[in-house]
Structure 1
Amino acid sequence: MNARLRLAISVIILFLLVTGPFLITAALIWADAQADERAALIRLIAPHLSLGTMMTAFGFFVGLLVIRYLFREYVQGLLKMAENLRLMLAANRNFRVTPEGPPEVRLLAVATNELAQQRDGLMDDVAAQIAAAKSSVEEEKNRLAALMSELAQAVVVCNREGRILLYNSRARLQFRALALGTTAVAGGALIGLGRSIFSILERSQIDHALDVVRQRLHKGAATAIATFITAARGGQLLRVQLVPVLATDDAPQQREMTGYVLTVENITRSLEQESRRDQVLQSLTDGTRGSLANIRVAVGNLLDYPDIEPEIRDRFMGIISDEVVRMSQRLDRTMSEFADSLKTRWPLEEVQGLDLVVAAQRRIEQELQLATANEEIDEAVWLRAESFSLVFSICFLAARLVHHHRIPELRFRLLPFGRLAYLDMIWADHAISLETFTTWENETMHLGTESSPLSLRDVIDRHGGEIWYEREKASARSFFRFVLPVALPDSLQAQAAGDEPSVRPEYYDFDLFHFRDQSIDLDRRLSDLAYTVFDTETTGLEPAAGDEIIQIGAVRIVNGRLLRHENFDQLVDPQRFLRPEGIRIHGITDDMVRGQPQIDAVLPAFHDFCNETVLVAHNAAFDMRFLQLKEDSSGVMFRQPVLDTLLLSGVLHANQDSHQLDHIAERLGVVIAGRHNALGDACATAEVFLRMLPLLAQMGIVTLRQALEASEKSYFARVKY
Structure 2
Amino acid sequence: MLTRLSLRVRVLLVFAGLAAAILAALAAALWVAGASLSGRGVPMPAMLDALALAALVAGLGALGAIAWIWFLFDRNMARPIELLAGGLRTGQTPEIEEARYLADLGPAARDAAGARARSAEALAEAIAEHATELQREKETLEAILADIGAGAVMTDAAGRVVFYNASAAHLLPGIALDRQIGRHLPAAALEAGAARLAAGASATDLTCLTAQGQRLRGRMRRVDDGMLLILHDRAPLRPAPRALIETLRRRAATLVPMLGALDGPMPPALAQAIRAEGQGLAQALRELAAATGADDASQGRAGLNELGAGLDQAPDQPRLALLADAAGVNGLLRHLDRRLRQQGLAPRLAAEAETSEARLLLSWAGAPLPMDRLETWLAEPPDPAQPELTGHEILAAHATAIWSEVQDGQARLVLPLPVVPDRADSAGLTYDFALARRGAGQARLADRTCVVFDTETTGLDPASDRIVQIAGLRIARGRLTGERFETLVNPGRPIPAGATAVHGITDAMVQDAPDMTAALTAFRHFAGEALLVAHNAPFDMGLLRHAAAETGVHFDNQVLDTILLSAMLWGQSAPHSLDALTGRLGITIEPEARHTAMGDARATADAYLRLIAALEAKGLAQFEDVLAEARRHRRLIEDANRPAAPGAQGGPPAGPAPGPAG
TM range (shorter): 0.5 to 0.7
Corresponding position of 1:212 = 196
2:38 matched to 1:70? no
2:515 matched to 1:595? no
Corresponding residue to 2:185 among 196, 201, 215: 201
2:71 matched to 1:81? no
Any conservation in 1 of the 2:99–2:106 contact (CA below 8 Å)? Answer: no
| d(CA) in 2 for partners of 1:242, 1:528 | 30
Corresponding position of 1:536 = 455
| d(CA) in 2 for partners of 1:547, 1:570 | 18
Task: Please list the CA deviations of residues 124-147 of structure 1 after superposition, one character each: whole Å capped at 9, or x if unmatched.
Answer: 444444555565444323432444
| d(CA) in 2 for partners of 1:608, 1:102 | 48
Cα distance change, pair 511–539 in 1 and its aligned pair in 2 (3 A): farther
Any conservation in 1 of the 2:218–2:230 contact (CA below 8 Å)? Answer: yes
- More helix as a share of residues: 1
Cα distance change, pair 117–699 in 1 and its aligned pair in 2 (3 A): closer
Corresponding residue to 1:243 among 220, 223, 231: 220
| d(CA) in 2 for partners of 1:206, 1:113 | 57
Corresponding position of 2:584 = 667
Give how far 1:81 is off: 1.2
Corresponding position of 1:717 = 637
Give how far 1:36 is off: 7.1
**Cα RMSD, aligned residues only:** 3.2
- Find the residue that maps to 2:104 and give its secondary structure: helix
Give how far 1:13 is off: 3.8
Corresponding residue to 1:555 among 454, 467, 473: 473
| d(CA) in 2 for partners of 1:549, 1:578 | 10
| d(CA) in 1 for partners of 2:588, 2:636 | 24
Corresponding residue to 1:514 among 419, 427, 437: 437
Task: Please list the CA deviations of residues 340-399 of structure 1 after superposition, one character each: whole Å capped at 9, or x if unmatched.
Answer: xxxxxxxxxxxxxxxxxxxxxxxxxxxxxxxxxxxxxxxxxxxxxxxxxxxxxxxxxxxx
- 1:429-444 counterparts in 2 under 5 A? none
Give how far 1:684 is off: 1.7
Q: Provide the TM-score with structure 2 as the length reference.
A: 0.62
Corresponding residue to 1:619 among 516, 536, 558: 536
Give how far 1:550 is off: 1.2
Give how far 1:717 is off: 3.2
Give how far 1:670 is off: 2.3
Any conservation in 2 of the 1:99–1:105 contact (CA below 8 Å)? Answer: no
1:170 partner letter: S
Cα distance change, pair 610–635 in 1 and its aligned pair in 2 (3 A): same
Task: Please list the CA deviations of residues 160-208 of structure 1 after superposition, one character each: whole Å capped at 9, or x if unmatched.
Answer: 4332222222222333xxxxxxxxxxxxx32122222211110110221
| d(CA) in 2 for partners of 1:134, 1:600 | 43
Any conservation in 2 of the 1:573–1:596 contact (CA below 8 Å)? Answer: yes
Cα distance change, pair 126–571 in 1 and its aligned pair in 2 (3 A): closer
2:600 matched to 1:681? yes
1:197 partner letter: I
| d(CA) in 2 for partners of 1:606, 1:195 | 14
2:110 matched to 1:113? yes
2:462 partner letter: P
Corresponding position of 1:638 = 555
Does 1 or 2 have the higher relative contact order (CA < 8 Å, sep 6+)? Answer: 1
Cα distance change, pair 161–149 in 1 and its aligned pair in 2 (3 A): farther
1:191 partner letter: I
| d(CA) in 1 for partners of 2:461, 2:131 | 53
Corresponding position of 1:525 = 444
Any conservation in 2 of the 1:533–1:555 contact (CA below 8 Å)? Answer: yes
Give how far 1:73 is off: 0.9
Task: Please list the CA deviations of residues 660-692 of structure 1 after superposition, one character each: whole Å capped at 9, or x if unmatched.
Answer: 112212222323342211122222212211111
| d(CA) in 2 for partners of 1:78, 1:46 | 46
Corresponding position of 2:489 = 572
Corresponding residue to 1:692 among 590, 606, 611: 611
| d(CA) in 2 for partners of 1:11, 1:129 | 50
| d(CA) in 1 for partners of 2:432, 2:546 | 37
Give how far 1:83 is off: 1.5
Corresponding position of 1:262 = 230
Corresponding position of 1:224 = 203
Cα distance change, pair 209–57 in 1 and its aligned pair in 2 (3 A): same
Task: Please list the CA deviations of residues 278-328 of structure 1 after superposition, one character each: whole Å capped at 9, or x if unmatched.
Answer: 89xx9xxxxxxxxxxxxxxxxxxxxxxxxxxxxxxxxxxxxxxxxxxxxxx
| d(CA) in 1 for partners of 2:462, 2:121 | 49
| d(CA) in 1 for partners of 2:61, 2:134 | 72
Greater mean alpha carbon deviation, residues 701-710 or residues 647-656: 647-656
| d(CA) in 1 for partners of 2:469, 2:138 | 37
2:170 matched to 1:173? yes
Task: Please list the CA deviations of residues 70-109 of structure 1 after superposition, one character each: whole Å capped at 9, or x if unmatched.
Answer: 2221122212212211121xxxxxx211112575515321
Give how far 1:653 is off: 1.7
Give how far 1:262 is off: 2.4
Cα distance change, pair 671–240 in 1 and its aligned pair in 2 (3 A): farther
Corresponding residue to 1:157 among 148, 154, 162: 154
- Find the residue that maps to 1:615 and give its secondary structure: strand
Q: Provide the TM-score with structure 1 as the length reference.
A: 0.57
Task: Please list the CA deviations of residues 245-279 of structure 1 after superposition, one character each: whole Å capped at 9, or x if unmatched.
Answer: 445xxxxxxxxx542222121649x97xx99x989
Any conservation in 2 of the 1:165–1:510 contact (CA below 8 Å)? Answer: no
How many percent identity over aligned positions?
27
| d(CA) in 1 for partners of 2:69, 2:169 | 65
Cα distance change, pair 639–143 in 1 and its aligned pair in 2 (3 A): same
Any conservation in 1 of the 2:468–2:491 contact (CA below 8 Å)? Answer: yes
Corresponding position of 2:622 = 703
Corresponding position of 2:28 = 24
Corresponding position of 1:384 = none
* Structure 2 residues not aligned, in runs of 5+: 247-430, 640-648, 651-662
| d(CA) in 1 for partners of 2:104, 2:80 | 13
Cα distance change, pair 226–515 in 1 and its aligned pair in 2 (3 A): farther
Corresponding residue to 1:98 among 91, 95, 99: 95
